[in-house]
Structure formats: structure tokens, C-alpha cells
Amino acid sequence: MEAPLVSIIIPTYNDWPVVAEAVDCSLEQTYENVEIIVVDDGSTDGTRTLLERKYGGRIVVIHQMNKGAGAARNTGLGKASGRYIQFLDADDLIARDKIEVQVNLLRHFSGKALSYCDYAYFQTRKTAYKPRHISPLLQHDKPFEDIMLKWETELSIPIHCFLFDAAFFKECGIHFDETLPTNEDWECWMNLFALAPEVIFLNQVLAYYRVMEGSRCSDRVKMRQGWISAIDKQIKKNRLDRDVVQNLEKKKKEIKYEYRDASPFMRVLLRKCHPTVGKMYHEIVPWRVQRLLD
């Protein structure tokens, strides 16, 4: 049986110090039938020159104005020709045999399916990998519910853990919402898992998530805004399903609590008052009242 093509999509924006590592681990895959598509999302740090000089025709490089990670992934999807899709952010890595192992799992399914694996943390390629602290394991019978309710608090699946059947994107029209500042991946997975696909978990660490200072995940105001916007979009899409809407409202309250330090009221309070006031506010004012002031 002919090995199906796998498209590896790498969005990058000013990742000059690390993007080559992501490309290299893609070129080093034991599975040979891959195409590597790097979408340079308006970099200004020499990333474009690096990619062209180091890799030449071995990879496809697309340049576009800066539009965000979701838009870069969508651009990559538009160019991809593979039977399967592997997303890989420019600062992350995948094991040499990841694609081979996961393709061998997925090719046994005739319907739309996806595979995902375990992951570990690291800082540089030369440092030891550290075990993850949030589980990636979805309940076999309730993956959609887990994605909806447990994401970020009890569940974490970095994007490069997945290997997707390209049909989700090519035939079903799944894409990343380019208007979201963050959490466009969660919103995309909500749309994808709503299709009730076959989901296969591989209990092996085949994805490595880099911990970097200054990442967008460290911007709590932006993360809060992205979360709430993504949840509101899902509430609108699922407005006819009362149970889903109730669960999403529950998630929204949870996110507001988790990011209460980044709420508009707290930003004003901390900017105008002594830090002790903010601490007393959290300790003394009941959460129900805090919610009203959010």
C-alpha cells in the first residue's frame, strides 16, 4: 500500500532563533512521504532569509502579512496536498517517528479520524524533557464534552500532539477563526469534535512543547479576551442545544474566575490603587460580587 502524503504546517512569526529546529525535526521524520509548509506570517527578524538560504527547495515557504497564528495555519491548509495534516508551531518539536506511528494507526480507519499523543515540556533542544503536569487524555465516550469543559484546567493537548485526517478541513470546512486573539485552536477543536470523529490516543510522548518567556500565553489580558470571545462564538453556534449552551456558560464563568486578575475592573483597581488593595479585594469580596464587577 502506497504511503499517504502528510502535510506538516509550520506557522512562524519572528521565530528566527528556533524555527530551524522545527523544520529540522520535520525533515528528520522516519516517515518519508511528507511535505513541509512553512507560513512566514510577516516576520521582520530575518526568518525569511534563514529559511530560503538553509532549506531551498526542500520545503515550501509562503510569505504573508502578519495576520496571526490562526490565519497562518489556514494559509497552510489552503496549500496542503496531504491525506493527513500535522500542525507544528515554530517553537515546538516532534519525535522522529511521530508521523510514522500515527499514520499507521489512522490508515486502518475508513471514516474521518484523528490521533493524538502524550507530550513533555522543554526549554531548549539541549535540555532534558520534563513531564507534563496536565493530562491530555480524553474520555473515550465524551471527547467533545471534555474539550468543552476541561480545556486548560484539567486537560491540555498541544496542537502538535494531533495528526488529523485532512478531510476535516478539506471536506467539512473546519478552519481557525482568524478574528480571535487567542484560543483559536480550542474554538477550532470544538467545531471538529462536534462532528464526533474517531479519536485514537497514543500513550507515547511524541510531542515536545517549548516553554518560552514572553509567549502569548503569558499575556493574561489577551488570553482572557480570547477565551471569552471564543466561548461566545461557540454559544452562538450551539444556541439550539440547551445543554451545550449551559456548559459553555459554565466554562465562561470558570474562565472569568481563573483570569480574574486580568478583568477590566481589576486592571483599573491595580493601576489606581496600592497592590494590597487588590489582595484584600480577592480575599474579602465574595466571588458572586466579583463576578458582577467583571
DSSP string, 84-139: EEEE--TT-EE-TTHHHHHHHHHTT-SS-EEEEEEEEEESSTTSPPEE-SS--PPP
Angle CA(200)–CA(202)–CA(208) in degrees, nearest 5? 125
Domain 6-217 coded CATH 3.90.550.10: yes
What's the pLDDT at 263?
65
In the predicted model, residues of the chain with pLDDT beneath 70 are 1, 213-218, 262-294
* Beta bridge mates, 113: 198
* CB atoms inside a 10 Å sphere around CB 142: 12
Does the reported pTM lie above 0.75? yes
- Give residue 174's pLDDT: 98
**What is residue 88's predicted lDDT score, i.e. its pLDDT?**
98
pLDDT digits (tens, 9 = 90+) for 193-221: 999 999 999 999 999 999 876 555 668 99
Distance CA 159, CA 181 (A): 16
Residue range(s) occupied by CATH 3.90.550.10 in the chain: 6-217
CA–CA gap between residue 158 and residue 112 (Å, rounded): 20
CA–CA distance from 122 to each of 22, 26, 93, 211, 212 (Å)? 13, 18, 10, 6, 9
Which pLDDT value is given to residue 282?
54
Query: In whole angstroms, what is the distance from residue 252 CA to residue 128 CA?
Result: 36
User: CA gyration radius for the chain?
Assistant: 20
Q: What distance in Å separates the CA atoms of residue 129 and residue 124, rounded to the nearest whole number?
A: 9
Quote the CA–CA distance of 236 and 241 in Å, as a whole number: 10
3-state secondary structure 170-221: HCCCCCCCCCCCCCHHHHHHHHHHCCCCEEEEEEEEEEEEECCCCCHHHCHH
pLDDT number for residue 133: 85
